[in-house]
Structure 1
């Protein structure tokens, strides 16, 4: 049965954040809020957690997982960014964007696209997500919480708890996250390509 954490969206209690991070540190898989949908999250080295996300969402080997980072400095450890990418990505973060970029050696092979050797990265503009990332001290391996067969994502923590009670270890509820996913920009080549138009304004990448 999943633990349920009710967290204030603007002023998350450090003790509660610490309890969630302790669970993540011990190998847990959590559902947590972001500025664009709820997401599944686990530690970078949590092989079982990553496999559980694949099973829950029915993901194939070509799926791009996302490393949700606290800030630009942390993001830069895991992807290769030239000057053009640097300026554009920095200007758009934090925010509701996911960038697909060439991975560095810090990213485990199992998280990289099998052919392109790329990975998704983002920096959320969300108080609770940022509190978790600050306490964890490393990125969260994440994937949007959209279940197979669902046309719309779940927006309420209690609903997520009801449906996923036996497949995740915790649900962090800080209120409605909306139903619009991130805008996804593939910048694995010289020019950015918009793969999905979502919550982030794509105009700057067109």
Structure 2
């Protein structure tokens, strides 16, 4: 199924359908402020395992990130951070960044990296944030099961043609991007740039 949502004012009835799908262990493809992602409710272990099978990866080695709705939601899943890091998060989010932070006890074990860390995103995209707000849990975020993003994978209609049979819903929020988020590791005394992407590293400081 493909559901078209308005990027500024997502239809509440359609949001409810997406959230019910996620609560039932469904897998969706959805827009962010960077590329289209694939995900599920983080509390649905079978859905997490299903995504691992789709992408042919071992759950123990997978590095998934979470989509949170805002900074206060983020703080439920990451241990308290020091003031300079919090300032940086406040400045950057919502935006095209993934911050690696120490994981709190609320992060399911299947989604914790070996280091007990979690990658957290608050995209500047109303649709995915509205889904998360309605769901009440973060949604897991991973890239589509493709070798590399090319222009056709910015089009939700083409994404639906290619992947509609292996997921439950493709959420059409308009044409997506081709550049991934910028990844910043905040688990040490100084933030470390892991991957330069759509977000500016220099603007964080």
Asked if Structure 1 and Structure 2 have the same fold, meaning a TM-score greater than 0.5 normalized by the shorter chain, the answer is yes
**What secondary structure is seen at the aligned counterpart in 1 of 2:128?**
helix
Stretches of 4+ aligned residues off by more than 2 angstroms: 55-63, 147-153
The yes-or-no answer on 1:117 pairing with 2:120 is no
Report the equivalent of 1:97.
97
Offset at residue 205 of structure 1 (A) = 4.9
Offset at residue 151 of structure 1 (A) = 4.7
Q: Deviations over 1:153-182 (max 9, x none)?
A: 711111111111221111000111110110
Q: Which moved more, 1:148-157 or 1:167-176?
A: 148-157
Offset at residue 50 of structure 1 (A) = 1.1
Structure-to-structure mapping, 1:32-51, within 5 angstroms: 32-51=30-49
Q: Which moved more, 1:98-107 or 1:196-205?
A: 196-205
Offset at residue 101 of structure 1 (A) = 0.9
Q: Deviations over 1:12-60 (max 9, x none)?
A: 1111111111111111100010101111121111112111222222334
The yes-or-no answer on 1:195 pairing with 2:194 is yes
Report the equivalent of 1:11.
9
In structure 2, do the counterparts of structure 1 residues 124 and 151 end up closer, same or farther at CA, with 3 Å as the change threshold? closer
Q: In the aligned structure 1, how far is the partner of 2:42 from the partner of 2:82?
A: 24
**Which runs of 5 or more residues in structure 2 are unaligned?**
none
The TM-score with structure 2 as length reference comes to: 0.92
Q: In the aligned structure 2, how far is the partner of 1:149 from the partner of 1:201?
A: 25
Aligned residues of 2:67 and 2:129 also touching (Cα < 8 A): no
Report the equivalent of 2:82.
82
Q: In the aligned structure 2, how far is the partner of 1:165 from the partner of 1:91?
A: 36
**Which runs of 5 or more residues in structure 1 are unaligned?**
none
Q: Deviations over 1:52-105 (max 9, x none)?
A: 222222334333211110010010011122222111111110000000111011
Report the equivalent of 1:166.
165
The yes-or-no answer on 1:132 pairing with 2:135 is no
Structure-to-structure mapping, 1:21-40, within 5 angstroms: 21-40=19-38
**What secondary structure is seen at the aligned counterpart in 1 of 2:154?**
coil
Instruction: Give the number of equivalent residue pairs.
Output: 202
Superposed CA RMSD in Å reads 1.6
Q: In the aligned structure 2, how far is the partner of 1:184 from the partner of 1:18?
A: 31
Q: Which moved more, 1:43-52 or 1:70-79?
A: 43-52
Q: In the aligned structure 1, how far is the partner of 2:174 from the partner of 2:57?
A: 27
Structure-to-structure mapping, 1:134-149, within 5 angstroms: 134-145=133-144, 147-149=145-147
